[in-house]
């Protein structure tokens, strides 16, 4: 059938974007117990940073993408240093709640700054590739291919970093047992800072990719953030491969439902899946209820 | 396997610490010379773990001081205390449950960037605890209790340090496994390590301890050599009975 191809391409593309957004959110959530409500805003900032670099400053595309990564990483670092770290020092017992409220405040503030600077009207992201490759009757737009490849490459790089480097091992160790990590000499606060920078970098680039197939607007990151939250809940917290598989699977389900029943049924279908999964497995598909793991 | 060490290694002076409004330790003093094995014995909930956590900086010291090789370490954050040479094998192991045995051990060498030295210490750990070499790729969460305890000790041995704190190494293990663990501790002592060991049962440590401190309600009620303690049946009886 002719429609299977386009539906699959759409599902894979949104799946790649969801997975990338989910990876950043899940890293921070799983290791600091911090649901970063400003994660979507980091996507937005990345999109606007690349827009500014490419179309206002005239920088070449790779540099514009690096600028987006840098802005994401920098804001991630500032969120840790100015908000998360002080809050966790002052009252560690209530941190998981207070940090949600605080980062929600950060998100509102930053989005309003974007609104002030760029206005509310949607802008076109200049970093997009036109054209498509056709394999027989199967048409694959370059833009979608670029998104899928870029997202997978970033996730693979992150996985390698976590699995193979000393810094990555320290991040996993700290997520699994912060007290034990401290006893071995790991400066845990610095590790958390690294996690927020990494998450911010992933979010910044993710924002560029999202805006390249939609448009730039101050609420650019809101939908990926919501979806990333859903993926984390369905997959179970802290299982990164599980979160990525879930992202692709649910995005394809969403695309199929949208095709068969109409676009407005995509999100209700996702929510129905969330409810079903949580009834059967409260810890998520891959998760264990009380254990954090990276 | 011993690291080069100075003389009076660890000194704790008038230590007061606790949680929230309550002081758990109300003034504890002890000192370890290098190569000594000193034990703190006390019933459950009387502050043994609290003492070790305060020494290693996981818990703030409220009054008093801790010094290592003559340098004050109280007030430093835990990762700085570790960098100064305090090895803490915590109660219940606190392993990195999702990591392999090898990765757990390598985390012990986090502060050491000398790869050759790390590889050498890994060999030493594997020859002391051969079971770990067999299990090196196994995920820590899937190990037996005794194997987990060995990973906890092995991970500590991967650190460079001048004093080793070991918290209830017998906890939750079958008697025969406890014996194996104590054989390992005896070998560590024989190799010249300085060890502060915490246990609930004085009989268990009597053979290897140079000195014993009995902890009761946040303070030492008796300190001395194990032989004296075991002779003074009355003291022991009151202590264990009360
Ligand atoms: N995290 C904590 N918060 C509050 N109280 C604690 C905490 N940990 C231990 N305590 C209390 O401190 C006392 C000493 O505990 P602990 O040092 O663990 O004893 P032990 O190791 O000798 O069994 C106990 O009364 C215990 O309830
Ligand atoms: Mg204890």
Mean pLDDT of A46-56: 96
Residues 6 or more apart from A104 whose CB is under 8 A from it? A37, A38
B103 has a chain A CB within 8 A of its CB: yes
Q: Is A240 helix (H, G, I), strand (E, B) or coil?
A: helix
Supply the pLDDT for residue B238: 65
CA–CA separation, B197 vs B32, rounded Å?
A: 11
How buried is residue B238: exposed, middle or buried, by Cβ count under 10 Å (0-12/13-18/19+)? exposed
Question: Is the predicted pLDDT of residue B163 greater than 90, yes or no?
Answer: yes
Question: Is the predicted pLDDT of residue B169 greater than 90, yes or no?
Answer: yes
CB contact under 8 A, B99 and A173: yes
Distance from CA of B112 to the nearest CA of A (A): 10
Supply the pLDDT for residue B178: 97
Supply the pLDDT for residue A237: 79
Note the helical H segments in B16-72: 48-55
What is the band of A288 on the pLDDT scale with cuts at 50, 70, 90? Answer: low
**Ligand 1 in reach of B30 Cβ (< 6 A):** no
CA–CA separation, B83 vs B194, rounded Å?
A: 17
Supply the pLDDT for residue A138: 80
Smallest CA-to-CA distance from A283 within A242, A229, A244, A233 is with A233
How far, in Å, is the centroid of ligand 2 from the Cα of B52? 9
Question: Is the predicted pLDDT of residue A186 greater than 50, yes or no?
Answer: yes
Asked whether the beta carbons of B194 and B36 are under 8 A apart, the reply is yes
Mark which residues 30-59 of B lie under 8 Å from A by CB: 56-58
Supply the pLDDT for residue A211: 96
Supply the pLDDT for residue B122: 98
What is the band of B227 on the pLDDT scale with cuts at 50, 70, 90? Answer: confident
Nearest Cα residue to atom 4 of ligand 1? B19
Question: Is the predicted pLDDT of residue A139 greater than 90, yes or no?
Answer: no
CB contact under 8 A, B155 and A184: yes
What is the band of A103 on the pLDDT scale with cuts at 50, 70, 90? Answer: very high
How buried is residue B143: exposed, middle or buried, by Cβ count under 10 Å (0-12/13-18/19+)? buried
The mean pLDDT value of chain A amounts to 93
pLDDT digits 0-9 by tens, A192-217? 999 999 999 999 999 999 999 999 99
Mean pLDDT of B100-124: 97
CA–CA separation, B144 vs A179, rounded Å?
A: 22
Q: Between B53 and B234, where is the model more confident?
A: B53
Mean pLDDT of A153-159: 97
Length of chain B measured in residues? 242
Asked whether the beta carbons of B196 and B161 are under 8 A apart, the reply is no
Smallest CA-to-CA distance from B101 within B168, B57, B148, B34 is with B148
Chain centroid to CA B73? 17
Asked whether the beta carbons of A69 and A24 are under 8 A apart, the reply is no
Question: Is the predicted pLDDT of residue A183 greater than 90, yes or no?
Answer: yes
What is the band of A236 on the pLDDT scale with cuts at 50, 70, 90? Answer: confident
Question: Is the predicted pLDDT of residue A291 greater than 50, yes or no?
Answer: no
Which residue is it, tokens 């400003």? A38
The mean pLDDT value of chain B amounts to 93
Note the helical H segments in chain B: 48-55, 78-84, 101-108, 115-128, 130-134, 145-157, 175-190, 202-205, 226-231, 233-241
Mean pLDDT of B216-221: 92
**Ligand 1 in reach of B42 Cβ (< 6 A):** yes
Mean pLDDT of B107-111: 98
- Determine the residue of B47, B48, B169, B216 to mutate for testing ligand 1's pocket, defined as the one with the most ligand atoms within 8 A of the Cβ atom: B47
**ipTM reported for the complex, 2 dp:** 0.94
Mean pLDDT of A180-202: 98
- Strands (E) across A77-228 are located at 132-135, 138-141
CB contact under 8 A, A176 and B98: yes
Residues of chain A positioned with their CB less than 8 A from the CB of B92: none
Supply the pLDDT for residue A1: 55
Give the CA count within 13 Å in the CB-facing half-sphere of B172. 10
Chain centroid to CA B216? 19
Question: Is the predicted pLDDT of residue A49 greater than 50, yes or no?
Answer: yes
Asked whether the beta carbons of A180 and A164 are under 8 A apart, the reply is no
**Ligand 1 in reach of B46 Cβ (< 6 A):** yes
Supply the pLDDT for residue A3: 80
Supply the pLDDT for residue B231: 76
CA–CA separation, B116 vs A194, rounded Å?
A: 27
Supply the pLDDT for residue B2: 42
What is the band of B106 on the pLDDT scale with cuts at 50, 70, 90? Answer: very high
Question: Is the predicted pLDDT of residue B191 greater than 90, yes or no?
Answer: yes
Supply the pLDDT for residue A128: 80
What is the band of B229 on the pLDDT scale with cuts at 50, 70, 90? Answer: confident
Q: pTM surpassing 0.80?
A: yes
What is the band of B210 on the pLDDT scale with cuts at 50, 70, 90? Answer: very high
Pairs from B204-208 (Cβ < 8 Å, separation ≥ 24): B204/B170, B204/B178, B205/B39, B205/B41, B206/B230, B208/B37, B208/B182
Show me where the domains of chain A are located.
12-221
In this structure, the number of other CB atoms found within 10 A of the CB of residue B47 comes to: 25
Asked whether the beta carbons of A50 and A68 are under 8 A apart, the reply is yes
**Strand pairing of B22-33 and B163-167?**
unpaired
Which residue is it, tokens 């490759």? A133
CA–CA separation, B36 vs B9, rounded Å?
A: 9
What is the band of B126 on the pLDDT scale with cuts at 50, 70, 90? Answer: very high
CA–CA separation, A201 vs A49, rounded Å?
A: 12
């Amino acid at each position: 059938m002719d429609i299977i191809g386009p539906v699959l391409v759409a599902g894979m593309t949104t799946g790649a974007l969801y997975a990338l957004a989910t990876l950043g959110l899940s890293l921070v959530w799983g290791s600091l117990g911090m649901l970063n409500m400003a994660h979507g805003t980091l996507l937005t900032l990345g999109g606007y940073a690349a827009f500014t670099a490419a179309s206002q400053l005239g920088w070449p595309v790779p540099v514009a993408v690096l600028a987006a990564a840098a802005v994401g990483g920098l804001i991630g670092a500032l969120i840790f240093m100015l908000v998360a770290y002080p809050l966790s020092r002052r009252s560690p017992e209530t941190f998981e709640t207070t940090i949600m409220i605080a980062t929600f405040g950060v998100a509102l503030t930053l989005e309003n700054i974007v609104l002030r600077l760029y206005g509310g009207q949607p802008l076109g992201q200049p970093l997009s590739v036109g054209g498509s490759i056709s394999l027989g009757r199967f048409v694959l737009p370059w833009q979608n291919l670029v998104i899928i490849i870029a997202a997978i490459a970033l996730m693979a790089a992150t996985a390698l970093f976590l699995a193979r480097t000393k810094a990555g091992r320290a991040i996993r160790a700290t997520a699994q047992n912060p007290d034990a990590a401290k006893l071995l000499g790991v400066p845990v606060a610095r590790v958390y800072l690294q996690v927020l920078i990494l998450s911010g970098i992933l979010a910044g680039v993710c924002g560029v990719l999202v805006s390249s197939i939609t448009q730039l607007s101050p609420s650019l990151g809101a939908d990926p953030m919501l979806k990333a939250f859903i993926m984390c809940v369905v997959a179970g917290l802290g299982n990164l491969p599980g979160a990525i598989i879930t992202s692709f699977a649910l995005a394809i389900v969403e695309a199929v439902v949208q095709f068969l029943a109409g676009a407005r049924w995509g999100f209700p279908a996702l929510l129905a899946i969330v409810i079903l999964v949580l009834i059967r497995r409260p810890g998520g598909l891959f998760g264990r209820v009380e254990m954090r793991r990276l | 396997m011993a690291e080069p060490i100075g003389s009076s290694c660890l000194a704790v002076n008038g230590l007061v610490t606790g949680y929230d409004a309550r002081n758990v330790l109300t003034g504890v003093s002890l000192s370890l010379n290098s190569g000594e094995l000193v034990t703190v014995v006390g019933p459950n909930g009387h502050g043994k773990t609290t003492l070790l956590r305060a020494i290693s900086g996981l818990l703030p010291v409220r009054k008093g001081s801790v010094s290592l090789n003559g340098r004050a370490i109280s007030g430093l954050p835990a990762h700085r205390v570790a960098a100064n040479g305090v090895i803490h094998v915590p109660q219940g192991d606190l392993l990195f449950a999702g990591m392999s045995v090898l990765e757990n051990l390598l985390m012990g060498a986090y502060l050491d960037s000398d790869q050759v030295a790390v590889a050498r210490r890994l060999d030493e750990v594997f020859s002391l605890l051969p079971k770990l070499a067999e299990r090196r790729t196994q995920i820590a969460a899937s190990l037996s209790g005794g194997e987990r305890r060995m990973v906890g000790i092995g991970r500590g041995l991967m650190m460079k340090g001048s004093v080793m704190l070991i918290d209830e190494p017998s906890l939750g293990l079958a008697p025969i496994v406890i014996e194996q663990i104590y054989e390992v501790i005896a070998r560590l002592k024989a190799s010249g390590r300085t060890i502060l060991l915490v246990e609930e049962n004085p009989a268990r440590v009597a053979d290897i301890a140079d000195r014993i401190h009995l902890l009761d309600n946040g303070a030492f009620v008796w300190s001395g050599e194990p032989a004296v303690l075991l002779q003074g049946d009355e003291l022991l009886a009151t202590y264990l009975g009360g």
